[in-house]
């Protein structure tokens, strides 16, 4: 038998318990015996496609070329490392590298032994080192003099240095926040607290920085003190925190600062103005037609509008200025370092130009306007709250004057705003404490001279200011939204009072109630009327609702449907102030109404202005032609009354027949039920 034959040698190698691995001079795996292939979980084909770094993925000593040169010099090298198999399981192994050269081909024959069943100190230290190297966080041992004496594999990966480079460095080389001057103080703090957690920055080899969270621990080994520091890369956390901060301080849709950040920007502008003896401006921008875009072109078009205008406003401002979105269609601009208050007007002009520039939304070309209020520090306020409030007051002044312009705040505006707020507060108290009352004005039939209806008119009985007429508080109630609750109270109280008169055996008549535009914008009015009638067991024929033609024409299709529902309850409907607003005869014939009221402005001019008389006569003929009754309001003279009777007017009300009076006094009119001789009711005296 030839014991030196290749077959015999291969048989022997494959039956050895030791793992034999042939490694090329470039680190590629050339061959492995059966034990090696079994241990690493590969067949020969897949095994020879690997390199030594695939086995020792935490190869942290010299690079392979350096290792190879050392092997050539020494012929044999023994190292203890960790190798992983195909399943990713790591094992501590002892590797004996043997340099070989056959026919000019250099390679290493590595004998690999799995380190098992050893319980000596070296093995424990090796396992500990292996565990530290498996950590995803960096681990550093730092001496008292700031030298780095140990770094695990994660430190090398995170910072880009080799182990040899790191152990020649100090902590000052990787942490720009640490200096030789501050290190002794930091070391004493660690000695005192034993453990510390803080955030800092580590500098990578490529010059980039990495935010790091440090868990420092003081350890003593053979009377020597060390800082055993575990370092976590918190880049992702910082990115997440920055995003959360951005979301908390910026508008999601436009990316602009929101109300939270706006206060800081105004405060900064004020400090800058104080320091430089300059001014700063705060401008509140309220867009026109935004609701129209949302309602008619959709919310996507509304979003596009806001983003486009945000971009336009930013384009005309300096880098030091701020444009923020307050919400809805309101923006606020902060102008920093303004030399003269008048400079804010120049920005106002530019705003008008960029905002009104046409844009395409939802396939339609739109021109958007804006109302801009301007407040200037320190003339109009010395803090963010005051400046924002006064810019808001100035903006509302623009809106009330027709929109599409800018306006500086004036002190008189603030006084009006204070009165406005006082009225709102008073109305809220009045609703809560039942301080409203109704006055009733009689309505007579011109032919029969009989009382046929009444109009309920709201009055506010304030404990300090007495009886307040509606023209002083109704506009404020409409602007503030309180008119909805007040209107519901009026309907409920009208039904309650009429029901009480009916139960007392009086001859009752329908009572009309004025609706506001606010009440018609929703659908709640139908439920309010239905509930009031049911609560007081009042027949629906004893209540009438009045609304102006301009209210109807805001959204005629929807309002017509709403009025049909109301009329379906059996409630009468009247159009008030007819002829003073925009009328559409095509819609007028569709309105489910019972009465048209001629506005008092035409009635007043009947005796002296032929045109007013012609208009009044035309309204009467038009209404009768459509099958409606006509009521003339504001009749104050016999001449007016006679003319209206001659033209066939059906109903009248005004001071000639009776002033609005409280319910108790109106009972006298109900008892009498007829015009007094001479045409004047004693209730109007």
Tens of pLDDT, residues 526-558: 999 999 999 999 999 999 999 887 777 777 788
Residues 6 or more apart in contact with residue 527 via CB below 8 angstroms? none
**H helix or E strand, kind and range, residue 165:** helix 163-166
Weakest mean pLDDT among 73-82, 323-332, 348-357, 508-517:
73-82
Note the pLDDT of residue 406.
86
Residue % of the chain over a pLDDT of 70: 89
Residues 123-159 have pLDDT tens digits of 555 555 555 555 667 888 889 999 998 888 888 888 9
- Of 89, 92, 95, nearest to 118 by C-alpha is 92
More confident of the two residues 67 and 22: 22
CA distances to 65, 107, 108 from 101, rounded to whole Å, are: 17, 6, 8
Half-sphere exposure of 262 (CA within 13 A, CB side): 24
| CATH 3.30.450.20 assigned to 135-238 | yes
Residue 250 DSSP class: B
- Specify the domain boundaries for CATH 3.30.450.20 within the chain: 6-122, 135-238
Where exactly does CATH 3.20.20.450 map onto the chain? 422-684
Q: Cite the residue boundaries of each domain of the chain with CATH code 3.30.70.270.
A: 261-409
- Portion of the chain with pLDDT greater than 90, in percent: 34
Which of these ranges, 127-136, 215-224, 420-429, 518-527, has the smallest mean pLDDT?
127-136
Rounded to whole angstroms, what are the CA distances from 64 to 76, 159, 490? 15, 21, 94
Domain boundaries 422-684, corresponding CATH code: 3.20.20.450
Would you say domain 6-122 falls under CATH 3.30.450.20? yes
Give the chain's radius of gyration (CA, Å): 45
Dihedrals phi, psi of 255, to nearest 5 degrees: 75, 5
Q: Hunting for tokens 């909805």 — which residue is that?
A: 484
Non-local CB neighbours of 630 within 8 Å, separated by 6+ positions: 595, 596, 597, 598, 619, 620, 623, 624, 648, 649, 650, 651
The pTM assigned to this predicted structure is 0.50
65-79, 116-130, 430-444, 524-538: which has the minimum mean pLDDT? 116-130
The per-residue pLDDT for 676 is 46
pLDDT at residue 160 above 60? Answer: yes
Q: Report the distance separating Cα 560 and Cα 551, nearest Å.
A: 11
CATH 3.30.70.270 fits 261-409, yes or no: yes
């Amino acid at each position: 038998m030839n014991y030196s034959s290749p077959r015999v040698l291969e048989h022997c190698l494959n039956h050895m318990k030791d793992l034999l691995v042939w490694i090329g001079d470039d680190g590629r795996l050339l061959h492995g015996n059966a034990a090696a292939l079994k241990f690493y979980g590969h067949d020969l084909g897949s095994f020879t496609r690997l390199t030594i770094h695939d086995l020792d993925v935490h190869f942290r000593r010299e690079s392979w070329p350096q290792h190879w040169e050392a092997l050539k010099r020494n012929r044999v090298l023994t190292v203890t490392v960790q190798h992983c198999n195909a399943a990713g399981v790591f094992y501590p192994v002892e590797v004996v590298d043997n340099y070989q050269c056959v026919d000019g081909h250099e390679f290493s024959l590595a004998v690999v032994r799995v380190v098992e069943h050893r319980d000596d100190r070296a093995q424990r230290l090796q396992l500990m080192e292996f565990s530290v190297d498996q950590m995803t966080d960096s681990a550093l041992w730092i001496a008292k003099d700031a030298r780095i004496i140990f770094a695990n594999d994660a430190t090398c990966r995170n910072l880009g240095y080799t182990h040899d480079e790191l152990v020649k460095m100090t902590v000052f080389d990787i942490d720009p926040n640490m200096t030789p001057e501050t290190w002794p103080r930091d070391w004493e703090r660690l000695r005192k607290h034993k453990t510390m957690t803080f955030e800092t920055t580590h500098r990578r080899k490529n010059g980039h920085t990495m935010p790091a969270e440090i868990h420092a621990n003081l350890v003593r080994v053979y009377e020597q003190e060390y800082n055993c520091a575990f370092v976590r890369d918190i880049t992702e956390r910082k990115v997440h925190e920055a995003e959360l901060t951005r979301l908390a301080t910026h508008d999601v849709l436009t990316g602009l600062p929101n109300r939270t950040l706006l206060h800081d920007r105004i405060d900064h502008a004020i400090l800058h103005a104080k320091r430089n003896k300059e001014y700063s401006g705060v401008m509140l921008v309220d867009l026109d037609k935004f609701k129209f875009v949302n309602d008619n072109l959709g919310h996507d078009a509304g979003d596009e509008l806001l983003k486009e205008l945000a971009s336009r406003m930013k384009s005309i401002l300096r880098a030091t200025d701020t444009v923020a979105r307050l919400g809805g269609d309101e923006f606020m601009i902060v102008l920093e370092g303004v030399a003269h208050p008048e400079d804010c007007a120049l920005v106002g002009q530019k705003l008008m130009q960029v905002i009104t520039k046409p844009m395409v939304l939802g396939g339609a070309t739109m021109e958007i306007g804006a109302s801009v209020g301007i407040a200037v520090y320190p003339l109009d306020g010395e803090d963010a709250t005051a400046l924002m409030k006064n810019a808001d007051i100035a903006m509302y002044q623009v809106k009330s004057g027709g929109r599409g312009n800018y306006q500086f705040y004036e002190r008189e505006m603030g006084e009006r705003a204070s009165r406005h707020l006082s009225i709102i507060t008073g109305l809220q108290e009045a609703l809560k404490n039942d301080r409203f009352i109704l006055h009733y004005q009689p309505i007579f039939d011109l032919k029969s001279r009989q009382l046929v209806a009444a109009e309920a008119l709201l009055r506010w009985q304030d404990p300090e200011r007495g009886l307040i007429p509606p023209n002083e508080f109704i506009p404020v109630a409409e602007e503030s939204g309180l008119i909805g609750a007040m209107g519901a109270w009026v309907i409920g109280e009208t039904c309650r009072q009429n029901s009480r008169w009916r139960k007392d055996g009086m001859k009752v008549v329908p009572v009309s109630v004025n609706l506001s535009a606010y009440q018609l914008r929703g659908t709640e009015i139908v439920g309010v009327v239905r509930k009031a009638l049911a609560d007081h067991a009042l027949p629906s024929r004893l209540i009438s609702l009045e609304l102006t033609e301009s209210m109807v024409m805001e959204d005629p299709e929807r309002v017509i449907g709403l009025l049909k529902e109301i009329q379906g309850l059996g409630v009468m409907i009247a159009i008030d102030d007819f002829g003073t607003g925009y009328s559409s005869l095509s819609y007028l014939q569709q309105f489910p109404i019972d009465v048209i009221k001629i506005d008092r402005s035409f009635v007043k001019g009947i005796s002296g202005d032929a045109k007013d008389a012609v208009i009044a006569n035309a309204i009467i003929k038009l209404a009768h032609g459509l099958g409606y009754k006509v009521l003339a309001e504001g009749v104050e003279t016999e001449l007016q009354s006679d003319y209206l009777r001659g033209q066939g007017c059906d109903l009248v009300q005004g001071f000639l027949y009776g002033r609005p009076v409280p319910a108790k006094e109106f009972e006298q009119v109900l008892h009498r039920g007829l015009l007094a001789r001479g045409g004047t009711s004693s209730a109007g005296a």
